[in-house]
Amino acid sequence: MRKLIIAGLAAAIVCGAFAQQNAPTFDDPKASVIAVSSAAVPGKMKDNIKLINLSDDENISFRVYIYNSKKASWNLYGKALLKGFHDGDTIDSDFESKIGKVEYVAVIPDGNGTYKYEAEKKHNDLRIRIYPAKESADESYKKDAVIADVRNIPGVFKDNVKFINETSDKNISFTLYAFNDKNGTWQKAGIAVLKDFGDTDTVDSPLEDSLPSYAYFAVVSRSGKTYAYDFRKANKDFIITVR
């Protein structure tokens, strides 16, 4: 059985490597060609292509092409606009629901930004996550962060993180980080935007259901202005009130 498992794994690795070596080229230096066949990306896709922004860049747009293996040609699938962190755009396309046999896609940023891409298949869609080409080593934001020890706050937290604005400031925004070690890596958990007094925003996080498992949260004001924060748990949510 062990030999069969090893042989199967080796075959999958060889198959994936073969797909990359034989990937079609795209005549644009900014294009990234991604293998998305079932051998390269497990799962099913038949409906849509969705792009998700996991970079700090805002209002970035991309063109997505799909490869026609029979005609050895690229077809424009559509365009996506991503407004901010973890924003997603399901592309409106004439090829919608016709991507089941697509083996390669090409993603091209319209601006000067450089990115890396990760493909996954979920809910019959092809999802392409967009990351910065190089992770920033700047951790200066940590000095301005207010940290909450989630475990020491009474109550039950299983669902969402919600921000509430109890200041007179308008259009204020905050970055939420999650981590288990204060001296380790801080995961960017999402952005909250509060329009005016009394406004609330539930954080849409790439960490999804794992968010309640983190020991610490940190809040950073994106404007640099200093605020006070109250932390509590209510209705299975983690509530951050900005004062």
pLDDT truncated to tens, each residue of the chain (243 aa)?
A: 433 333 443 444 334 444 455 799 999 999 999 999 999 999 999 999 999 999 999 999 999 999 999 999 999 999 999 999 999 999 999 998 889 999 999 999 999 999 999 999 999 999 999 999 987 777 889 999 999 999 999 999 999 999 999 999 999 999 999 999 999 999 999 999 999 999 999 999 999 899 999 999 999 999 999 999 999 999 999 999 999
E strand or H helix that includes residue 184: none
- In whole angstroms, give the CA distance from residue 164 to residue 123: 32
Collect all residues with Cβ–Cβ distance below 8 Å to 17 and sequence separation of at least 6: none
Phi, psi (degrees; rounded to nearest 5) at 139: -120, 25
DSSP helix/strand/coil, 211: helix
Residue 17 is predicted with a pLDDT of 44
> Hey, which CATH number is domain 140-242, 2.60.200, 3.30.1070, 2.10.260, 2.60.40?
2.60.40
- List, in sequence order, the alpha helices (H) in 127-219: none
Closest residue by Cα to residue 68 from 17, 23, 29, 103: 103
Q: Enumerate the domain spans of the chain.
A: 28-132, 140-242
Residue 3 is predicted with a pLDDT of 37
Its CATH class, for the domain covering 28-132, is mainly beta
Residue 15 is predicted with a pLDDT of 43
Burial class (CB in 10 A: 0-12, 13-18, 19+), 153: middle
- 140-242: same fold as 28-132? yes
Q: Say how many Å lie between the first and final Cα of the chain, rounded.
A: 61
Residue 138 is predicted with a pLDDT of 78
CB atoms within 10 A of CB 220: 19
* pTM exceeds 0.95: no
- Token couple for 17: 């490597």
